[in-house]
Chain A
Amino acid sequence: MLFSLNNVTKTYGKITALRQLTVKTPAGAVGLLGPNGAGKTTLIRTLLGLITIDAGGGEVLGLDVHKQRMLIRQSVGFAPEDECLFPGLAGIDFVAYAGELCGMSRGDGMQRAHEVLNYVGLGEARYRPVESYSTGMKQRLKLASAIVHDPKLLILDEPTNGMDPGGRQEILDLASDLAHNKGMSLLFSSHLLPDVEAVCDHILVLARGRLLAQGKISELKLSHEQSFEVRVKTDAARFAGLLAEKGCRVEPREERLIVRLPSGTSTDLLWEMAVSAGEQIRFLRPQQSTLEEVFLKAVEAGDEAFRA
């Protein structure tokens, strides 16, 4: 069990950030999704033991959220979303200081900082002052200072903000490696759903302070039995027409077609039709909802429930 919260409520004046939230999450790579204002930041702060919740209780890594807040922070690493720096330090001193603030001794902190900077790929740049770093390097530095004390849970809030595609892929690879190969649990909060899909196995969807959906990504993305996504070489519309004649239900989506085969047929039908139409099939996969669809559906369902 990574963390579990029980009927947690937190209000800031008139705004209710978390509303009787109850959630149990297994260890592993967990994605945290939700529209703006859903309470994701408040949830993260609760998990860090940073705020006093008004009602309810919970535990993180087996430590009580009310009574063991300092201990929680010793086992949790956090890379915040906005730009944060300790001023006036070189990269290596920065990460060593971050470790010392968690309780490491100076020697341990320095040794571990070098190790961790090697892992995130910051080479000679570690001896330069952090104010001179590019965005990609700052994100890596943030990640390094979050894992320097070897936490059991790593919380990443929009870690790929502002990074170019190459850098983004590297950060995602690092996060995935830590979560899957090194036994560190991960809570990944992001608006970029393909990033979450690439790294996480399990997701939580929050909206208006409540939990809307949770589960394994592979289970939430339903597969439809007789539904396939098809792309042909030249004329999709003509192909669609021909398929419709054979009793399929066809729906165009961008340059592909969503084909629902009639019962009793299989994909053989598609190949035969392609040859007879003089087309090539260039893409054929069973239709699976994307994570974006899962998310949007959950949010819409939540909105309706709220209005009702």
Chain B
Amino acid sequence: MPIFDQGYQHWRGPLSGHGRRWLTIMLQGVRVQLTRIWLRRMLYLSLIPALVFIGFMSVWGLVEQRSEGALALIRNFLPSSLLMDPRAQRAMIWTIAFSYFFKIQMYFIMILVAVAGPGLISSDLRFNALPLYFSRPLNRVDYFVGKLGVIGALVGAVAVVPALLAYVLGLAFSLDFGVVKDTWQILLGSIGYGLLITISAGALMLAMSSLSRRSLYVGVSWAGLWIITGWVGTVLEITFREGLTHNIYHAEMSRWLAANPAPVGVQAPSPYERPSRRRLNFARVGPMRPNEEGTKWLENWLKAAKEADIKAREKESEALQSDWRPLFSYVSNLERISDSLLNTDAAWEKIGKAFAVAQGKTDDGDEPTDGRRFAEMMVPQYPWQWSGGVLGGLLGLSICILTLRVKSLDRLK
């Protein structure tokens, strides 16, 4: 027929089964979020650490190949003991690099989740999109997984993809497939960590997003969760540790001072006081120069103080094994799991030792080589299962909130 009907046409094309529905929701969510200019800017900013990281991995690969330029660059940062045999140090360096990268990108991830996350469910609630979703062939699980995927895409873009890229480039630059044997744990750990962040932070953000119709409140609450719990955890931990070491030092010194009172001519120090150069010098050259006995006493005091310090640190190490205070900080929990996935504790210990050796501290010198102390500074020591428990609990809570707030059309008014 030469004239074609312009009215309604029927359509009998293919309809995909509902297994792929979550992907549609995820892609649409990503598309919508990418139109927001501040999100795009944040993504560009997050590229900077990624580039630095990838750069470092490439340089290390060159170091392994004994390239002069690379060695010259690295020598400024790392002790040469490590650079003797880079291949042996590979696992440790990679672990630390990856761990540091994730720590930095965690900031960007938290910010991006705060920017992109709130709108995911709260604007659907505000504009009443749920009847439109659930009157179509998809169920609540598809909806949640799709929305979670949006956050997963962000985490992937900011952290996991650069990490994988860095891994591949590090592998390529080192021209040695033995890398994989040493570092496969890092690869799996990175992917696992990315998944963990997506599921934990994603579910939590979705749950918060479903509690309010105004995405601004959700964003502010998320920032509060991240920043305030971080502060609380840090403050609690510091006060605990300092308090503990101070108390032990005090106890030890009190005991020693009680047993060894200061001789005449020497001003008795308080049990809190730490021996300082100034104090000792003053004692040696001061107006009332102490006699032999006094000088001896001062040296004993110095020794006792050092022993007390060591004891305090030992007790601190012991206590840190069961220090639950960092559990308050949400981000610390995530990082604790990453530390156990990537096994960063061992890595920090090794590098701490290497630095200590490089600084000339030997075993029989004043300070022992203490990689352990370094590790304790960088990595929380309590068992990772506790963090796992906290995160698991939060996940359970998020799921409960989501199932209550996002009702399928059965009970929607």
Contact = CB atoms under 8 A, between A and B. Distances in A.
Chains A and B share a contact (CB less than 8 Å):
yes
Interface of A: 12, 45, 48, 50-52, 70-71, 73-74, 78, 80, 82-89, 97-98, 100-105, 108, 112, 115-116, 118-119, 131, 145, 147, 149-150, 177-178, 181-183
Give the residue among A48, A131, A150 with the most B Cβ atoms within 10 A.
Answer: A150
Given A78-B131, A82-B128, 17 more contacts: A50-B134, A50-B135, A50-B410, A78-B135, A87-B124, A87-B127, A88-B119, A89-B32, A98-B136, A101-B21, A101-B136, A104-B16, A105-B13, A105-B14, A115-B9, A147-B8, A149-B11
B15 interface: yes
B110 to A, nearest CB: 23
A112 B10 contact: no
A104 B28 CA distance: 14
A101 B128 contact: no
Given A45-B410, A89-B32, A119-B8, A145 B132 contact: yes
Given A50-B135, A80-B135, A86 B15 contact: no
A174 to B, nearest CB: 9
7 contacts: A88-B35, A103-B15, A104-B13, A112-B11, A145-B132, A149-B15, A150-B10
B131 A51 contact: no
A85 B127 CA distance: 6
Contacts of A48: 135, 409
A105 B17 CA distance: 11
Contacts of A74: 15, 137
A103 B137 contact: yes
Contacts of A119: 7-8
Interface of B: 6-18, 20-21, 24-25, 28, 32, 35, 119, 123-124, 126-138, 408-411
**Which 3 pairs of residues, A with B, have the shortest CB-CB distance?**
A103-B15, A150-B11, A87-B123
Given A78-B135, A103-B16, A104-B15, A51 B7 contact: no
B409 A50 contact: yes
Nearest to A174: B8
A150 B137 contact: no
Contacts of B7: 119, 177, 181-182
A223 to B, nearest CB: 34
Nearest to B411: A12
A204 B8 CA distance: 27
B16 A70 contact: no
Contacts of B25: 101
A194 B237 CA distance: 73
A52 B124 CA distance: 24
Contact of B133 (A12, A52, A101, A177): A101
Contacts of B35: 88
B131 A80 contact: yes
Contacts of B127: 84-87, 131
Contact of B8 (A12, A78, A178): A178
Give the residue among A101, A115, A181 with the most B Cβ atoms within 10 A.
Answer: A101
Nearest to B146: A101
Give the residue among A12, A73, A88 with the most B Cβ atoms within 10 A.
Answer: A88
A103 B8 contact: no
A84 B129 contact: yes
B126 A87 contact: yes
Contact of A182 (B10, B14, B138): B10
Contacts of B135: 48, 50, 73, 78, 80
A85 B408 CA distance: 16
Give the residue among A48, A103, A115, A116 with the most B Cβ atoms within 10 A.
Answer: A103
Contact of A150 (B12, B18, B130): B12
Contacts of B6: 118
Given A149-B11, A182-B7, A182-B8, A103 B18 contact: yes
A181 B7 CA distance: 10
B28 A105 contact: no
Contacts of B129: 84-87
B138 A101 contact: yes
A24 to B, nearest CB: 24
A104 B21 CA distance: 10
A52 to B, nearest CB: 8
A71 B15 CA distance: 10
Contacts of A131: 127
B132 A102 contact: no
A80 B132 CA distance: 8
Contacts of A70: 18, 137
Nearest to B409: A50
Give the residue among B8, B11, B35, B123 with the most A Cβ atoms within 10 A.
Answer: B8
B218 to A, nearest CB: 14
A108 to B, nearest CB: 5
B412 to A, nearest CB: 9
A130 to B, nearest CB: 9
Contacts of A105: 13-14, 16
B37 to A, nearest CB: 14
Contacts of A45: 409-410
Contacts of B8: 116, 119, 147, 177-178, 182
Nearest to A81: B131
Nearest to A50: B409
B136 A84 contact: no
A84 B128 contact: yes
Nearest to A142: B132
B13 A108 contact: yes
Give the residue among B17, B21, B129, B131 with the most A Cβ atoms within 10 A.
Answer: B131
A228 to B, nearest CB: 40
Nearest to B6: A118
